Structure 1
Amino acid sequence: MRDHSKHIQISCEEVVSGLLAACNFSPKTEMVRLDESFGRVLDEGVASACMLPNALTCRMDSIAVHWSDFVEGMPDTSGWVRGKDWEFANTGVAMPEGFDTAIVIKHVVVSDDEQRVEIDAAPSAQFAGTSAIGSRLKPGDVLAKAGEIIAPDVAARMAGGNVASVAVRRKPRVAFIPTGSELVPAGSAVVPAGKNVESNSLVVRVKVEAWGGTFLPSDIVPDDPNLIIAAVRKACACAGIVVLNAGSSKGSEDWSVEQLEEIGTIICHQVNHGPAHHSSAAVVDKTPVVGISGPPFAASFTLGFYLQPLMNKFLGFSVRPFKVPVRLTEPFPIAGPMSGHNARKNCAGEERPSEVVAGKQFFGVRMLNVEARPDGSLAGTPVTGRSGSPATLSANALLCLNRARVLPGRLRAMSFGLSYGSGRGKQCAMLFRLRRPAVFAS
């Protein structure tokens, strides 16, 4: 049996720091069409290429007049001729040639034949109701800054400056390698006895694309050391970040960390939280490799913990966590590995021994449903149930309870919030640590 006694276990924060320190990203710029740039990150500032408006323009639906006719007061319009003394002028359209002032159409009565007008309000000054040449944009005016995400409004602003293509940061390429001789692809005609359907590639793909990356899938790799090495090296050659769906479990067929040690540098074999205790981190061929656990729930949230900060760094976003206060609506139940029953010294053979090490922190990941209260504050309600079960589908946040400090019937833990955000809506992972009734969320 292989010796796992010297496996390195570090905290979530230490894993992120180690991975970020090992990164040597050299993002490149590429030009893309503006209409294909939504969600991309600008690598260079964008300036207007035109003058807007490029002619004296009417601001509202109006009639165009000559200011000189109003210098002495309201004129007699009974003899006015359309095209000579007045003309229709519409919103955003250049003023008719020779006219310099506009009167809103609501202050005008137009005859049925649209040739004569009566006016009940005079303009306040010359050029009233108009926009001057260049009053909206001039060549060289800044439309967007480097680092901005191209949202629809940003794209429209650039299009208004006659910009058709922009320089954006090339997307981080994230390769995903699912491993396990027990896995078969989703949609297989038959799922043989003892086999599982591989589903984590879907989770990884959606998150990678939502966080601004390009997903590079791999075929399922059997539990064979040589095949795992070949797959990792191939992935490192074509991607900037690799996700290896095999942690550091101690089963007889779990080979991934041994292979990562053989061909790269291990940052850690395991982390101080569970589920996903057997997550790993390494660097192979100067490429960060995030090893995530197989169970879907653990695989999903650890991507937010360890993959998203790497992608944020590549794209130039902040990798620092941010905090938002949340208040618990009720105490978290003490159950599972944290209870006195499961913490007994002589565990039954089918029960996993506690991962808590005396004097060290270990966190149990629990689920919350965070909602806004009428007063604008956020409230978090514990969600109970087996991870991934229908009962937990309402959960939209995660809480980390310090098992080393939790005693039967009482809840004690440090207060600290960690969430990596990129400005992309709610696509961030959430990690909380609780003290009394307050937690921090995002």
Structure 2
Amino acid sequence: MRDHSHHIELSREEAVAAIIDATRIPDLPHRMETVPVGQSYGRVLACDVASRIDVPGALTCNMDSIAVHWAAFEGLPEGALPDTTDWVRGVDWEFANTGVAMPEGFDTAIVIEHVRVSEDEQHVLIDAAPSARFAGTRAPGSKRKAGDVVACAGEVVTPDVAARVAGANVASVPVVRKPRVAFIPTGDELVAPGSAHVPAGRNVETNSLLARGKIEAWGGEFLPFDIVPDDLAQIEGAVKRACAMADIVVLNAGSSKGSADWNIEELERIGTVLCHETNHGPGHHSSFAVVDAAPVVGISGPPAGASFTLDFYLLPLMRRWAGLEPVAPKVPARLTADLPARGPHGAKGAHAPAGEDRPRMATAPGASFFGIRFLNVTAASDGTLMATPVVGRPGSMEAERANAFFMCPTGGGAEPPKAGDTIEIEFRNPGLAAPF
């Protein structure tokens, strides 16, 4: 029987810190590319972006109005208005519209609501005077000047940022290159989706679809690998190829204690394993290694665990690659009902039969193990977040409808929170450009 006593177990926070610390992110010049502004949505700017022009580029009208000469009003008694009966359009006044350069030779504007225009649009009567020369206008360069920074390095390009950059006459921007993320599914029991026949005891491999959706949504380039059987030589070959072509490698399954789970042994042989397992479930058998200077994130096989461990461990690496804070802060919410008690490894509870009660191999005596508890979080009228527990195991339809979760400590005498307690929750489906 294999000896698992040497396994290194880390908390989620320790595991994230360890893999980030061990990952050598290339210097910015080596992970930067230039893309058209229209293709930059969701990307992270690698450098400051400066305006190429003065904005506005000329004296510009700030409202729908008529343009006039300040000289016609200068020196008049307070409240007095000039006689506009003989004013000629194009000489004494002209239409001026919001955001458009003032007509040549005019320097001041009167908002159109204080103007009566004749039917032939050649004459005007006014009932209010401008306050000063240049009233109702913007000076050249008053919004920004050529060379002013309009977007900063590290900023995520949103539609508003893209419009601001384009308004500075910038057509392309420097962004952080998308990290290449290789995904290797392993297991003799797996068959590809859409197979003509799924033999009894085999499973359809869906984690590639799960990983692809998350990786691309998080701003990465997905590099899929074919299913790799539980064979040491084939696992080594796939990992080596992935490490040579990708910035980050995700190795799926094969890290538990089954008789065909060889991934940890192989990673120990060809690289450095930082962690064999973590103190939470689902995702207890997550692993982290470095092979040929590339980070290898080992995630759970079951889809529910795979989903969480991709969020927990791949997303922080991808955010770190982009130069963003790796982990989102948790937010407080008040429970509307007691959080249901559950054992550290499932719904059977702490008194499961001995043959079904998985011992915690590496967790220190008295230490907590964390289990995912699903929640629906809404905002009360005063803005307080209210969290309602959702009954359902990871991967169930009930759990998938939940919009948040709580990592509940179990063991070590920990009691689940009760109604009215404030807990630290996390929202599901995090993203690279989420408002962290």
- Structure 1 match to 2:399: 392
User: What is the aligned partner in structure 2 of residue 118 from structure 1?
Assistant: 125
2:226 to 211, 216, 219: 219
Give the direction of change, closer, same or farther, for the CA distance of 1:228–1:130 in structure 2 (3 Å limit): same
Once the two structures are TM-superposed, the CA of residue 403 in structure 1 deviates from its matched residue by: 2.2
Q: Given residue 225 of structure 1, which amino acid in structure 2 is its aligned partner?
A: L
Q: Indicate the residue corresponding to 1:434 in structure 2.
A: none
- Matched residue SS, 1:281: strand
8 Å Cα contact 1:365-1:400 kept in structure 2 = yes
Task: Report how far residue 419 of structure 1 moved.
Answer: 6.0
Give the TM-score normalised by structure 2.
Answer: 0.90
Partner of 1:277 in structure 2?
284
Match of 1:50 in 2: 53
**Cα separation, 1, equivalents of 2:182 and 2:385:** 36
Q: 1:320 to 1:187 in 2, by over 3 A?
A: closer
Aligned residue number for residue 359 of structure 2? 354
Q: How does 1:326-337 map to 2 (within 5 A)?
A: 326-336=333-343
SS in 2 for 1:310: helix
Q: Which amino acid aligns with 1:376?
A: G
Unaligned runs of 5+ in 2: none
Alignment of 1:6 onto 2:10: no
Aligned-residue offset at 1:52: 1.6
Sequence identity, in percent?
Answer: 58
Is 1:268 the counterpart of 2:275? The answer is: yes
Q: Sort the Cα spacing of 1:18 and 1:377 in 2 relative to 1 into closer, same or farther, 3 A.
A: same
Shift in CA distance, 338/208, structure 1 to aligned 2, threshold 3 Å: closer
Residue 333 of structure 2 contacts residue 422 of structure 2 at CA under 8 Å; is this kept in 1?
Answer: no
Map of 2:40 onto structure 1:
37
Deviation, structure 1 residue 209: 2.1
Q: What is the CA–CA distance in structure 2 between the aligned matches of 1:82 and 1:274, rounded to whole Å?
A: 78
Task: Evaluate the alpha carbon distance shift between residue 340 and residue 383 of structure 1 in structure 2; reply closer, same or farther with a 3 A threshold.
Answer: closer
| Residue of structure 2 aligned with 1:229, choices 232, 236, 240 | 236
Deviation at 1:321, TM superposition (A): 5.2
The residue type paired with residue 204 of structure 1 is A
- How far apart are 1:262 and its partner, in Å? 1.1
Aligned residue number for residue 192 of structure 1: 199
How many residues are matched? 423
Q: Which amino acid aligns with 1:424?
A: A
Within 5 Å, give how 1:160-309 maps onto structure 2.
160-309=167-316
Q: Deviations over 1:328-363 (max 9, x none)?
A: 112122235579975448614xx2423265333322
Q: How many angstroms does 1:232 deviate by? A: 0.7
Supply the RMSD in Å over aligned alpha carbons: 2.5
The 1:399–1:323 alpha-carbon spacing in structure 2 relative to 1, beyond 3 Å, is closer
Aligned AA (2:6): K
- Aligned partner of 1:318 in structure 2 is 325
Give how far 1:259 is off: 0.9
> 1:342/1:419 Cα in 2 relative to 1: closer, same or farther (>3 Å)?
closer
Which deviates more from structure 2 when the two are superposed, residues 339-348 or residues 240-249?
339-348
Moved more, 315-324 or 148-157: 315-324
Q: Which amino acid aligns with 1:354?
A: P
Shift, 1:370, TM fit:
2.0
Aligned-partner Cα distance in 2 for 1:269–1:337: 18
Shift of residue 291, structure 1, vs aligned partner: 0.6
Residues 406 and 412 of structure 1 are in contact (CA less than 8 Å); yes or no, is this contact kept in structure 2? no
**2: CA distance, partners of 1:247 / 1:280:** 10
The structure 1 residue matched to 2:166, chosen from 159, 162, 176, is 159
Counterpart contact for 2:184–2:250, Cα < 8 Å: yes
- The match for 1:437 is none
Structure 2 letter corresponding to 1:57: T
Paired position in structure 2 for 1:424: 433
